[in-house]
Chains A and B, each alone.
Chain A
Amino acid sequence: MGTILWLGIALATVLRLRYGQMGPAQWDDVDFALALQRYDLAAMQPHFPGYPVYVLAGLCVQGVIGEPYRALAVLSALSSGAGVGLLYLAVRPWFGRGLALAAALLYSGLPLTWVLGTQAMSDAFGALLAIALAAACVQVLQPHSARKKAFWLLAAGTLYGLLLGVRSSYLALGVLPLWVAYEYIRVQRSAWSDVLVAVVASACVCLGWVYAMVINSGGWLPFWQMATSFTEGHFSDWGGTYSADQPFFARLNIWLTRQILGAGFGTPWGTYQESISRWVIALLLLIAGAGILFSAGRKIQKSRQELKQESQQDDYPGILQGEMSAISRNPLFKNLIRDRKVSYLLIWLLPYAIWAFFAQNVEKPRHILPMLAPLCVVVACGLQVWGRRAILAGTTGLVLCMSSIGISTVVEGAHEPAPTVQLAEFLHTQGTNFVVFTYEEERIIHYLYPQIQTLRLRHYEDFKTAVLNHPNTRILLTDSVLQGLGHPEVEALCKPLRSFHGNPWLYPTYHDIILYEADTELINLLNHSR
């Protein structure tokens, strides 16, 4: 069993190292690559909140490797491989070796862990620390010696502090150590001081990286100004193209079917239905889901019978307690409280899920990455319901199909230039007498060709002003800018010049870019409009 796990870890790591990102592709990876060359929050390398622990880890790898993109991709690959091993350790104590192995292997095969394990971004490293946090939390509630338990509690606190220094958006995972601390106090009387020590340790770590950023920005005041200016402007300013304001169910639909199922597990989505693997994955996930429902139903039935026996002894349920007992007596809820295994999974999964859904950009699948580790455990549990053979066959099938999708995606990523890069290369061939209105593409263009003049806008008025400031100049715009203009008479004067394509699973927001050129009539139009 151990051999299979090590083989899985090794294979995942080696292949991810092989197909790692080599150059710029998206706004965030440019930020991080620049941060390794010169950490400067004011210049948005990287953007707020600064990712100090991640950049520090990146700097360490860079010390060995040298090239920033290579260093970050190697860090992602190593993190994603190590995450597989740590997930095994996080699951084994409560779920047993077999299930832990299945969950870890499933995690290693997920298309999203393939993609993020090769990209130069903070997600793979963040997810590694998130799994490490869960693994430490489990140990606190194992029948260890008092000293060992206190140690793991302290470790959980420290890891949480580091985790926030990697990705502040993983904040909601803090509910897990909170729950563990609560259980720890409940079981072990007068354990308050241990919890306090863990909290102080966590605060120390956070204070450490915050202070490192304060030094970098030159004092508390500039640091504070940076933090506030970050929350002022919004991407959604631009004509509302940034679909942050979708209706609830449309948002839920994208989040569940595209991001979690499609990008995370590799089920069919949109035009990606042709491969058999995707349908096999969907089928196996359905079987696992049915398993979960079946076992939940069985448990509810069991506790309902217990409830019946209890209520026969109970003569007068208090009126004031009516509300409370309605919840606490509900069979499903009762089961949750009783079963620590179930509580552990739900507390690992749900708080972050709610946070990611409401507070994170649903357009980008990478925000769901920390949910995938507990979800793999859920899938493994669902398969286990149908027996030993089912979990063996199901896991094998899922890992093979998911890996085939993941590997073909990252191979494409390693060989085809990103659409943003294609755009930059095309612009580079267009001489100097033009200005291009862009959105996030700007960052990649500037990284490759600083001399290309790009403009990023917030309002239509800015557009008008900028065009009038560039007479006798070719005006180019990308589709993300044009869509946000909201002025049909301007749109009518823009003709498509060239389009660039990439894999949407690799580049979730900028996979199809259309470059437009404005007719010279545009200046006349704007000249006469007030």
Chain B
Amino acid sequence: MKLKWWLQIVLVLLVTAMVPMQALAYSYGNPNEEALATAYKNFVAKLAVDPPDFAGAKAEFDPLKAEVDQHMGAEPAQAIYDALDKKDKDAAMKSYQQTLVLNVARRMKSIEADFTNYKDGKLLLAKALATYEALAPIVKEKDAQLDTDIRAGFDKALESLGNPGLFGVGVKAADPALFKTSEDTILNGLMKVFEMKELKVGHFAKDSNESAGSGTADTSDAAWKNWLPLVLIAVVFTAIVVWAMRRKRA
């Protein structure tokens, strides 16, 4: 009997020792990524090697052509392909950079078009910032102060979207005027660095694939709707506490 007990302990210990130590390490991973910007970084890396890998660079951009055509017209993608065909590395990179500037503009215009939609606005802004991150090394090299200004512009833009707060603490209203000024800072700065006269973005309409669900939590008018479930929870909680305590008194 006693032997059995000890055997059991040893067995349990052995089994636990064999379980792989898969600790649930935290992730502070970034959910906001922009495919066009990620592809750009790979595109540059492909062209930077010696000799440049034009076929590889083209393969990085190919999957994104359709998206670029849809929102910015056929020209930008064509310019990238032409430069790649001519084996002109610098022109290819410059065309792609200009496409990225258009992408920042596209994201910012989409936010503007549906400004009270907090949830989509934040996602789109994160995508615009991710796009800018790809361009940042070039901006910084040409004008370090401008890089600081543009980053400050993104901070202001995020602030302008407002915040629903936590339990009603720290609620901030959306501020369209602030958004407009920060948008101008960002786009004007980028136009200057990348030598663009205008930002022609084909469709200003909201992207169908990114506005999943209806904008349930607007920061502007429907705030009371947010509070209803919380109030309900509080009422249920109070009710059961009172009920339970009354019952015991009897």
Contact = CB atoms under 8 A, between A and B. Distances in A.
A459 to B, nearest CB: 12
Interface stretch (A74-82, A233-241, A334-342): A233-241
Majority DSSP secondary structure for residues of B touching A = helix
B24 A359 contact: yes
Interface in B150-168: 151, 155, 158-159, 163-167
Contacts of B244: 150, 154, 194, 197
A276 interface: no
A469 B25 contact: no
B213 A219 contact: yes
B141 interface: yes
Contact of A432 (B140, B170, B213, B233): B140
Contact of A151 (B4, B134, B151, B245): B245
A212 B167 contact: yes
A509 B131 CA distance: 32
A47 B122 contact: no
B119 A219 contact: yes
B170 A465 contact: no
A248 B23 CA distance: 11
B153 to A, nearest CB: 12
A232 B29 contact: yes
B247 to A, nearest CB: 8
A464 B140 CA distance: 20
Contacts of B234: 208
A465 B5 contact: no
B249 interface: yes
Contact of A230 (B4, B27, B166): B27
Nearest to B213: A221
A514 interface: no
A244 B22 contact: yes
Interface string A14-56: 0000000000000100000000001110111001000010011
B237 A231 contact: no
Interface of B: 1-2, 4-5, 8, 16-17, 19-32, 41-42, 44-45, 48-50, 53, 118-119, 122-123, 126, 134, 136-137, 140-141, 144, 147-148, 151, 155, 158-159, 163-167, 169-170, 172, 212-213, 215-217, 226, 229-230, 233-234, 236-237, 240-241, 243-245, 248-249
13 contacts: A52-B167, A147-B248, A150-B244, A154-B244, A197-B243, A208-B230, A215-B217, A218-B122, A234-B26, A245-B22, A451-B151, A465-B45, A466-B41
Given A38-B170, A212-B167, A327-B5, 12 more contacts: A39-B169, A204-B236, A204-B240, A219-B119, A236-B23, A323-B4, A361-B23, A432-B140, A453-B137, A465-B44, A469-B41, A469-B45
